[in-house]
Amino acid sequence: MNKKRLGLALAMALLSIGTLTGCHGAKSTSDFEIPEEFDESRNIELTFWAKNDTNKTQTAIYNKAISDFEELYPNITVNMRLYTDYGKIYNDVITNISTNTTPNVCITYPDHIATYLTGNSTVVPLDNLFADEKYGLGGSYLKFDSPTVSEVVPEFLKECMIGENHYALPFMRSTEACYVNKTYVEKLGYTLPETLTWDFVWEVSEKAMEQNADGTYKINGQNVLIPFIYKSTDNMMIQSLKQLGADYSDSDGNVLLFNDDTRQVLKTVAEHTKNGVFSTFKISGYPANFLNAGQCIFAVDSTAGATWMGSNAPLIDIAKDKLVDFETQVMRIPQYDPSDPKMISQGPSVCIFNKADPQEVLASWLFAQYLLTNDVQIAYSETEGYVPVTTKAQQDQAYLEYLSLEGSDNDQHYDVKIKASRLLMDNTENTFVTPVFNGSTSVRDAAGQLIENVTKNVRRKKTVDDAFIDKMYEEVRALYHLDQSGAAAGAGGKADLGKLPGASIALLTVLVLAWVLIAAYWITDKLRHKEQ
């Protein structure tokens, strides 16, 4: 877990500017063609930009994967650069596209790839590589046991498609879970349903706000209580709209977020924030810290953050004397229709960047594919509440044994972490992703900003009504450049570069004039010849 949000905020700001600059100055690289043979007589050096969750075990797994791969292919050297958030990777890639110094292999999100693709032939489409008999998925010339295409979970593979092509391989998958203080819910007189509904979460949260005469809360005897905290408010809005069958965006890049269903979600958030039952990570802090201190009952965060959740969590950021003992229940996020649950699919994917040397690109592909082998998939997924992206790994005996040891210790087999992984595996068919296009990242940011603004303003005792929401829609549209017509034009399309400088106008005028004079001369000359 990051110990601060400053870097994150900066990275997000960088990210938003990145979308506007992505198309400037990109150098062209020819389309990649798969070589007949991989040349093992030459030394090839690869750069791999990876992301970890401030988790040392993840770094160790990356290092082991690299050394195992280099043992198989001694002519390839992989240099890893580690990041702790996707925004920074994104920003660095954008900067390096213009100088043609992108990494070879990069952990990323499809939303980001959509922007990388504004450069010419920057990211290699993988469809031909998938199918290549020798070096493709499950290929005959590979020196490792690679999954076949059919062994990659189809839902996860589909998420890596942009237009007609796959531009990434899924690496790990997670979703969001609601980590519930079951002890407090029952103490309040409720029984947890099989599937949480939004109504249930709001009702229990309101009930929890009862106070003692000294101002402490009855449920925890403390001065602090925020019953419901959401980490990623963009996900909160996106999933709410999906569950309601409401508009958000479409694959043509139309921004449909600013609608009446969104307004209703915002009004509900406002209503409960007014009573102090709801807050967000950006406003108050990490949900895990509040949950573990007995100051939160429903904490929604990624399954990839499961190792921070609960009284016995292996990773803790609060002082030990603040920890409260309670039973943690890992549940699907709240639903509007429990009979038709919907939850986001998220997690890192891996893409490869095009280079002038096809052998270098093929080496990149071999390494990217190596990350899908069982050893890497199983080891990495066990670090957090991730799920392997291949059925081959999910059904491997070693992985099944890992799952079966749920709760046998509070480290490798921490029950909350394994339950979080199971949650996604049991709900893969209920997951969805949002349409990916150049600018889709901005629409996502805007979705979260709406909830943040409403929450913040209610806490400041401002009136949140239709007039407020109308004004906020306008402001957020402008902030994320979603106020231009067409497919999120400003969000990721070409930026308005303003008026031409005077010198450029003068130069163009002289050029036009010169051509006019040349044309006039040519016509006069032709006429003279005709007359003669």
Partner 1 sequence: MKKTLAVLLTMGLALSFVGCGSKEAAQVAETAQETATEVAETAQETATEVAETAQETATEVAETVAEVAEDVKGEGVMSYADYEAAELDSEVVVETYVQAKQSWWEDKATFYTQDQDGAYFIYEMTCSQEDYDKLTPGTKIKVTGVKSEWSGEFEIVDATFEIEDGNFVAEAKDVTDLLGSDDLIKSQNQLVSFKDMTVEAVSYKNEQPGDDIYVTLSKDGNNYEFCLEYYLNGSDEEFYNLVGGLEAGQTVDVEGYLYWYEGPNAHLTKVTVK
Q: Which residues bind partner 1 (CB under 8 A)?
A: 2-7, 9-10, 13-14, 16-17, 52, 54, 56, 59, 81-84, 283-286, 289, 317-319, 456, 459-461, 510, 514, 517-518, 520-521, 524
290 vs 437, beta carbon nearer partner 1: 290
4 vs 499, beta carbon nearer partner 1: 4
User: Strand 349-352 relative to strand 105-108: parallel, antiparallel, unpaired?
Assistant: antiparallel
Q: Which amino acid is at 383?
A: T
Radius of gyration over every alpha carbon of the chain, rounded to an integer in angstroms: 27
Question: Shortest distance, CB of residue 247 to partner 1, whole angstroms?
Answer: 29
User: Which two three-digit tokens encode residue 474?
Assistant: 């306008």
209 vs 283, beta carbon nearer partner 1: 283
Question: Shortest distance, CB of residue 282 to partner 1, whole angstroms?
Answer: 8
The structure tokens 């203080």 sit at: 181
Question: Shortest distance, CB of residue 260 to partner 1, whole angstroms?
Answer: 28
59 vs 120, beta carbon nearer partner 1: 59
Question: Shortest distance, CB of residue 281 to partner 1, whole angstroms?
Answer: 9
User: Which two three-digit tokens encode residue 405?
Assistant: 């040891």
78 vs 423, beta carbon nearer partner 1: 78
356 vs 523, beta carbon nearer partner 1: 523
164 CB neighbour count, 10 Å cutoff? 7
Distance of CA 15 to the CA centre of its chain: 13
500 vs 517, beta carbon nearer partner 1: 517
SS3 string, 144-208, reads CCCCCHHHECHHHHHCCEECCEECCEECEEECEEEEEEHHHHHHCCCCCCCCCEHHHHHHHHHHC
Question: Shortest distance, CB of residue 82 to partner 1, whole angstroms?
Answer: 5
433 vs 472, beta carbon nearer partner 1: 472
279 vs 434, beta carbon nearer partner 1: 279
20 vs 489, beta carbon nearer partner 1: 20
> First CA to last CA across the chain, in angstroms?
87
Question: Shortest distance, CB of residue 4 to partner 1, whole angstroms?
Answer: 7
Q: Write the DSSP assignment of 271-284 as a string of letters.
A: HHHTTT-EEEHHHH
Question: Shortest distance, CB of residue 510 to partner 1, whole angstroms?
Answer: 7
CA distance 80 to 63: 8
Question: Shortest distance, CB of residue 356 to partner 1, whole angstroms?
Answer: 28
CA distance 128 to 125: 8
CA distance 460 to 192: 32
CA distance 141 to 38: 9
Q: Write the DSSP assignment of 21-57 as a string of letters.
A: HTTSSPPP-PPP---SS--TTS-EEEEEEEE--S-HH
List of residues 6+ apart from 425 with CB closer than 8 A: 387, 394
At 384 the three-state DSSP class reads: coil
Q: Exposed e or buried b for every residue in 89-110, given b needs 16+ CB within 10 A?
A: bbbbbbebbbebebbbbbbbbb
96 vs 329, beta carbon nearer partner 1: 96
Handedness of CA 519, 521, 522, 527 (dihedral sign): positive
Question: Shortest distance, CB of residue 367 to partner 1, whole angstroms?
Answer: 19
Question: Shortest distance, CB of residue 319 to partner 1, whole angstroms?
Answer: 6
Question: Shortest distance, CB of residue 244 to partner 1, whole angstroms?
Answer: 29
Q: Can you give the length of the chain in residues?
A: 532
* Among 444, 374, 484, residue whose Cα is nearest residue 15: 444
